[in-house]
Amino acid sequence: MKVVLSGGGSGGHITPILAVADELKNIDSTTEVIYIGQTGDKLGDIPKAHKSIDKVYSVRAGKFRRFYNEGIKQILDLPVLFKNIRDFFYVIIGIYQSYNLIKRLKPDIVFTRGGFVSVPVALGAKLCGVNYITHDSDPIPSLANRIIARWAIKHAVALPEDVYPYPRDKTITTGIPVNNNFKNVDHKELIRFRKEIDLSPDAKMLFIIGGGLGSLNINNAVCAVADHLLEQFSDLNIYHVAGRANEKEVTQFYKDNLPEEVKSRLKTFSYISDVYKYSGAADLIITRAGATNLAEFALQAKPCIIIPSKFLVGGHQLKNAEYLSDQNAAIVLDEDKLAFNPLTLAKEVSELLKDKKYREDLGLNLSKFAVKNASSVIANLILELGDSAK
């Protein structure tokens, strides 16, 4: 069996692809797994280094830039308009490249996780007569998936089928594929993870992750209150994944502004591949409202402070966060209010670190949304449909 996996542009697209790749190899180690990403993807080296990916290729892809609640203003923005026109031609080039690549590779089936690169890859597959499967994590399908949905053989989705505008007979609820290392963390597991990251079993730990490239707004808010929190809690350790786009600036800020006596209790990273160890070891997590991270932390039953991005099209992070807040499954903070008063974040973190029962209740409520074995379900679906196409 030869399978093409495609997606990219963010950690939320790439990590589920890697989870599916692992499961494909677990089911049948002879399966050839090929990844097609976007030319210039800043996270493109991650699939290339992954043990379950046999070959990696890239094609051109284009982004249609539009922003939630920005209305006509974005149409009149000349730099955005220029980039959209330029990227239209990137898509045309990408379709041509994908067609030639897929014609040469002759895969049995293609699985697209979403992102801009899904459009040229899926359309290239269609032109070659190769079936493809799409996947949606959020209740609102991405523009890329809406474009390619018509010709997909199957739509794998995270939520019940009737949430989505796809034909019911072509839609299957699978959940969100995540690394198999994400699972419920009991006290024994927490201690094991802390030993692996060289952290005391008795310390408090705050883990911050804003995506593969990072979140400038989350980084700014955490930078503004880190010294306050580290001085308030003498046993607190902060592990901050600032993202590849921001790690140097964040590290330099801490170097220049933190008191010497607390610097050893704060660590920064640009990207980590074993997120489950750090999230598993944490007492509390600060994150975006991306569906992939939320699915991962739900499996671990971890309490989260969520800071959703309000600019993503469709406002899907806002909807994710609102729903979890209504279910008392997460604390949700508005990034605009944090920019005005970052001490709001410090107050919430402080209250949660002091109240173990509160944290446990949040984690338990979030865990009710966990879907196990999504990677296995999707991998088996890919192999079944790929085999039937032979």
Contact in structure between 148 and 131 (CB atoms under 8 Å):
no
Whether 187-367 and 2-177+372-388 are alike in CATH topology: the answer is yes
48: pLDDT strictly greater than 70: yes
Average pLDDT rounded to a whole number, residues 232-245: 95
Residue ranges per structural domain of the chain: 2-177+372-388, 187-367
d(CA 257, CA 223) in angstroms, rounded, equals 9
Average pLDDT rounded to a whole number, residues 205-224: 88
d(CA 256, CA 265) in angstroms, rounded, equals 15
Determine the pLDDT at residue 69.
52
67: pLDDT strictly greater than 70: no
Determine the pLDDT at residue 312.
63
What is each CA distance from 91 to 114, 119, 136, in whole angstroms?
A: 15, 8, 21
Average pLDDT rounded to a whole number, residues 2-26: 90
180-193 tens-digit pLDDT: 999 999 999 999 99
d(CA 340, CA 345) in angstroms, rounded, equals 11
142: pLDDT strictly greater than 90: no
Determine the pLDDT at residue 86.
84
The average confidence (pLDDT) of the chain is 92
Q: Residue with structure tokens 């008191």?
A: 259
Q: Which two tokens stand for residue 165?
A: 């505008």
276: pLDDT strictly greater than 60: yes
- CATH architecture, domain defined by 2-177+372-388: 3-Layer(aba) Sandwich (3.40)
3-state secondary structure 309-345: CCCCHHHHHHHHHHHHHHCCCCEECCHHHHHHCCHHH
74: pLDDT strictly greater than 70: no
d(CA 238, CA 232) in angstroms, rounded, equals 13
Determine the pLDDT at residue 366.
97
Which segments within 151-303 are labelled E, that is strand? 154-157, 171-173, 204-209, 236-241, 266-269, 284-287
CATH number of 187-367: 3.40.50.2000
Other beta carbons within 10 angstroms of residue 78's beta carbon come to: 7
Average pLDDT rounded to a whole number, residues 303-324: 84
